């Protein structure tokens, strides 16, 4: 480790934000390789090796975004990115001249995705350390509740079901009515991916969506005629409803208060969740990962104003093919012998719907930095309970 590099590490550990190239140029200018700044933090003195360029640049960005503190700084420098990918890289100008190993880099040239990789390792550790929210004490079910099951679009059904459980109205019981919840096909696809991002191990949005649309396939959970048909065979068509208008749900389920919608997470927030989920999978078992993502990670993320938005959106050029598939689904539903509540045309993606919203690496990194630094001061706890009607897309959700 050269003295200049050692001094830069100390500078970063003490909260400095000078980029490496500038630091190096200043050191060259001073013609003193001992650096123009003393080693105030002391962390760099005991380092036996120079941390990777990814870790150093992440720490610099964290210093720009807030005040990480010495303990977090040390953790950042000691954490390699989880998973496979580019190895820890050396600093250009600080590594000894050798033809071996990956080429040294200027940390400022690193792609944002590389910094996100390191950040997800730290965030996953934080989530595990925090643990899931304490479970609410089990309460006896309300004896006169309406017996139901809620299936279909997981992004709509899961939060509604969770709220009903909280209101002492768990699903099941004797002879329940099965409500198959849905929306337009494009929204349902966006919802399934969003739900998977909070379960863990989801593929990237377009890697998941494109093959499905190309093959005209529909994920099993939102293949509404198939789901409703399977339940009709099991419990009889008179006890199955397809609900295309979620506003009808409270009345159908025998509750007056409105049911909450999904967490209003932006495309970047969902993508960060997906990546944190992948890192979490290396620290805990799959069931615990899902619990941590949904009960600890997602609510904390949704408290961050920059993480709020309306999620990913199917590209415009895919809508025509989705309309074909949705038309077929609509015809099947119209022929079926169970009731369909809501206009079956609601299945067809509207031509005016928002489209082409995808995560960006810069947006994901900004959120990752905010989450590594900790909850945003002033964010009101519990503000993530449901979508607010005025929520527009976050600035980082603009079309690419």
Partner 1 sequence: MTRRVLLHVGTPKTGTSYLQDVLFRNTRALAEAGISYPAHRFDAHFLAALDLMRMPWGGLEAEAIGAWDALAARVRAHEGTSIVSHEILATASRTQVGRALASLGHGDGAEVHVLLSVRDLVRQIPAEWQENVKHRSRIRYAEFLEQIRDPDRATRIGSWFWGVQEVPDILDRWGHDLPPERVHLITVPPPGGGPELLWRRFSHAFGLDEVDLDLHAERSNPSLGVPETALLRRINAAAHRELAPADYRPLVRELLAHQTLSQRTGSPRLSLPPDLHPWVAELTEQWLAELRRRRYDVVGDLEDLVGAVPDPRRWADPDKPVEAQVARAGVAAVTALLLDNARLRHEEERLAGELAQAHEALHRAYLRPTYRLREKLVARLQGGRAGRALLKVYRVARGRSSLAA
- 82 in contact with partner 1 (CB under 8 A): yes
Structure tokens at 267: 């495309």
Q: Which of 31, 98, 174, 380 touches partner 1 by CB under 8 A?
A: 98
We find the least distance from the C-beta atom of residue 186 to partner 1, in angstroms, to be 23
**Cα–Cα separations (whole angstroms), residue 103 to 2, 85, 249, 309, 322:** 17, 15, 58, 39, 45
**Which residue stretch of 100-108, 294-302, 307-315, 316-324 sits at the interface with partner 1 (rule: CB under 8 A)?**
100-108
**Polymer length in residues for the chain:** 400
- 110 in contact with partner 1 (CB under 8 A): no
- 200 in contact with partner 1 (CB under 8 A): no
We find the least distance from the C-beta atom of residue 149 to partner 1, in angstroms, to be 23
Q: Which of 15, 35, 51, 363 touches partner 1 by CB under 8 A?
A: 51
**Which residue stretch of 79-87, 178-186, 254-262, 387-395 sits at the interface with partner 1 (rule: CB under 8 A)?**
79-87
Helices 53-65 & 3-13, crossing angle to 10 degrees? 40
312 in Cβ contact with 207 (< 8 Å): no
Q: Where are the beta strands (DSSP E) in the chain?
A: 148-152, 177-181, 240-243, 340-341
- 88 in contact with partner 1 (CB under 8 A): yes
Taking the C-alpha atoms of residue 307 and residue 319, their distance in angstroms, rounded to an integer, is 26
**Which residue stretch of 28-36, 65-73, 282-290, 317-325 sits at the interface with partner 1 (rule: CB under 8 A)?**
282-290
- 106 in contact with partner 1 (CB under 8 A): no
- 102 in contact with partner 1 (CB under 8 A): yes
Q: Which of 25, 30, 32, 87 touches partner 1 by CB under 8 A?
A: 87
> Which CB atom, from 17 or from 288, has the smaller least distance to partner 1?
288
181 in Cβ contact with 347 (< 8 Å): no
Q: In what order do the strands lie in the sheet with 177-181?
A: 148-152, 177-181, 240-243, 340-341
**Cα–Cα separations (whole angstroms), residue 153 to 191, 212, 217, 220:** 7, 16, 15, 10
Rule CB under 8 A: which residues touch partner 1? 48-52, 55, 78-80, 82-88, 98-103, 121, 278-279, 281-286
């Amino acid at each position: 480790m050269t003295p200049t590099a050692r001094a830069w590490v100390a500078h970063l550990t003490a909260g400095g934000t000078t980029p490496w190239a500038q630091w190096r140029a200043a050191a060259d200018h001073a013609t003193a390789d001992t650096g123009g700044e003393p080693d105030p933090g002391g962390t760099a003195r005991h380092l036996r090796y120079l941390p990777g360029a990814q870790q150093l640049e992440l720490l610099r960005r964290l210093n720009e975004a807030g005040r990480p503190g010495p303990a977090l700084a040390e953790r950042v420098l000691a954490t390699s990115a989880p998973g496979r990918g580019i190895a820890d890289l050396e600093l250009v100008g600080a590594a000894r001249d050798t033809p071996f190993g990956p080429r040294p880099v200027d940390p400022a040239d690193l792609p944002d995705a590389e910094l996100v990789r390191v950040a997800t390792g730290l965030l996953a550790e934080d989530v595990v350390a925090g643990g899931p929210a304490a479970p609410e004490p089990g309460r006896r079910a309300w004896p006169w509740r309406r017996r139901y099951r809620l299936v279909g679009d997981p992004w709509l059904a899961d939060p509604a079901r969770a709220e009903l459980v909280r209101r002492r109205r768990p699903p099941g019981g004797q002879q329940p009515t099965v409500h198959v919840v849905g929306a337009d096909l494009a929204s349902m696809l966006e919802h399934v991916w969003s739900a998977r991002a909070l379960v863990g191990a989801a593929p990237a949005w377009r890697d998941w969506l494109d093959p499905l649309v190309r093959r005209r396939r529909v994920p099993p959970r939102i293949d509404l005629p198939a789901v409703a048909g399977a339940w009709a065979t099991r419990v009889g068509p008179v006890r199955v409803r397809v609900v295309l208008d979620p506003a009808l749900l409270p009345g159908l389920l025998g509750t007056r208060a409105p049911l909450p919608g999904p967490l209003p997470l932006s495309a970047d927030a969902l993508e960060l969740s997906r990546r944190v989920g992948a890192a979490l999978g290396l620290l805990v078992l799959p069931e615990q990962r899902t619990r941590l993502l949904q009960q600890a990670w997602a609510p904390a993320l949704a408290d961050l104003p920059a993480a709020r938005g309306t999620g990913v959106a199917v590209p415009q050029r895919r809508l025509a093919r989705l309309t074909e598939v949705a038309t077929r689904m609509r015809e099947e539903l119209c022929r079926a012998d169970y009731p369909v509540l809501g206009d079956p045309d609601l299945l067809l993606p509207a031509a005016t719907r928002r489209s082409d919203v995808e995560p960006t690496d810069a947006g994901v990194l900004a959120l990752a930095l905010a989450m590594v630094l900790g909850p945003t001061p002033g964010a009101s706890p519990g503000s993530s309970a449901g979508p607010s009607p005025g929520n527009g897309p976050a600035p980082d959700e603009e079309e690419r």
